[in-house]
A and B are shown apart, each in its own frame.
Chain A
Amino acid sequence: MSSVGSTTAAKLARERQPHGQPLWLLAELTYKCPLQCPYCSNPLDFADTGAELSTEQWIDVFRQARRLGAAQLGFSGGEPLVRRDLERLIAEARQLGYYTNLITSGIGLDAARIAAFREAGLDHIQVSFQAADEEVNNLLAGSKKAFAQKLAMAREVKAQGYPMVLNFVTHRHNIDRIDRIIELCVELEADYVELATCQYYGWAYENREQLLPTRAQLERAEHITNEYRARLAEQGNPIRLIFVTPDYYEERPKKCMNGWGEIFLTVTPDGTALPCHSARMLPIAFPNVKQQSLEQIWNESSGFNHFRGDDWMQEPCRSCDEKAHDHGGCRCQAYLLTGDMNAADPVCAKSPHHDTILAARQAAEAPAHETDVTYRNERNSRVFARSID
């Protein structure tokens, strides 16, 4: 979130509290999804989680988070359209004063439902694509009809007057067609375009070898994106292209979630509250909205306080002069690559585990060979759920 005038939201909030306010609430309404994207950010063992929160429980979560300062609400999943009470949830959220964002694959959407959401007060729809090419898109989505449906829904979203963000997760199979992706977004009149390379947690980590682009692919894509930016600006086209590079090609880690428990609050389908949508993989007992108030969860729970401040840091982070800047990087990445969630994020060139990143880059240079992709579906998730138990 950006800021104008004086100070950032997080800084201002810190003057009153030791940590920020949960400005951003991500409501993962369900883990059910008709697609099977191999880079899904849901946990590997999603099939093994508890019952979904009821309509009333969600509304109570929205009310509590709003009181704590939340202004942005994302309806996500899984595929949030699967929830038949979505219209009601949107209406209640809008009534509470949230800016409401629907983050969807577009599968399960039609013109009537888009209109019903508008009526309920929905502010914005983000449609995700897997590729600009029908065949690749459908292969990655694990669905034969996905692409045509997405195109039709993106057109309908604009026709009904919503601001629209298009999200393309890029990887080695689609990044070379970034010119076609951008042209498709221009044609669909997107307001913002997120060209976000996979981040390698959960399903994407399992499929990393199949997804990680080479450095040359990445540099070419960024160059082409910059050329389009210049050309589109010259034409007076207000479209904004947001290009996100993967951590794996950086030498310093990113400040995870703008600080653990500083701005973001995710509530998962079964009510588990997380400081980031990936954090469920960490060996931390996270609180649940069925047992505690959001205020207790945000301010007092050990889960949310776990990586606040820097007492938890080890070397090389502890004595590092950049620690306030990146806060040691991503905790999930540290845990995945080193087995220790308190370690420095191996993306950092100062990390003793940086070789794991170098090896992944090296592996990406090898010509792609035919290994199977692990699709994100119930059957595969049950295998992971068993192995985690």
Chain B
Amino acid sequence: MSAPASQPDKMAAVPVLERMFRFQWEEAQQCYVLLYPEGMVRLNDSAGEILALVDGARSVARICSQLEQKFPAAGDLSGDILEFMEVALEQRWIHYRR
């Protein structure tokens, strides 16, 4: 995990889906997926909800507040969302807008 000092930077970052991937809802499987050349990643519910808000314009902070509004019972989601962003960066599904 990252040092606490970098947390504000990460909240201000704007994630962008890599060009290689297409994100969509799959009716037959009842889940969101990421499609890429000859492959597919099935996303669990929370990963799907987060990526659905990744549009190259919203910051991580905006994504957090929107999801916290949508799921008020869940409480503070920033830890989980930042953790997901780390995974998504590592997998090269997204990059932060430069």
Residues of A within 8 A of B (CB): 1-6, 8-9, 12-13, 21, 23-24, 66-69, 71-72, 74, 97, 99, 101, 123-124, 126, 161, 163, 165, 191-192, 238
Contact = CB atoms under 8 A, between A and B. Distances in A.
Given A4-B44, A12-B42, A97-B24, A238 B92 contact: yes
B38 A71 contact: no
A146 B19 CA distance: 29
Interface in B31-90: 33, 35-44, 47
A9 B22 CA distance: 17
A165 B36 CA distance: 11
A201 B38 CA distance: 22
B64 to A, nearest CB: 20
Interface of B: 19-20, 22, 24, 26, 28-29, 33, 35-44, 47, 92
A1 B40 contact: yes
B20 A191 contact: yes
Contact of B35 (A67, A72, A74): A72
A4 B43 contact: yes
Contact of A12 (B22, B29, B35, B92): B29
Nearest to A161: B19
Nearest to B33: A71
Given A69-B29, A99-B22, A123-B22, A5 B39 contact: no
Contacts of B33: 71
A99 B36 contact: yes
Contacts of A24: 38
Contacts of B35: 71-72, 99, 123
Given A3-B41, A191-B20, A163 B36 contact: yes
Given A4-B44, A163-B19, A101 B37 contact: yes
Contacts of A238: 92
A72 B28 contact: no
B29 A72 contact: no
- Sorted nearest first, the 4 A-B pairs with minimum C-beta distance are A5-B44, A69-B28, A99-B35, A124-B37
B37 A165 contact: yes
Contacts of B24: 97
Nearest to B47: A5
A21 B40 contact: no
Contacts of A8: 42
Contacts of B43: 4-5
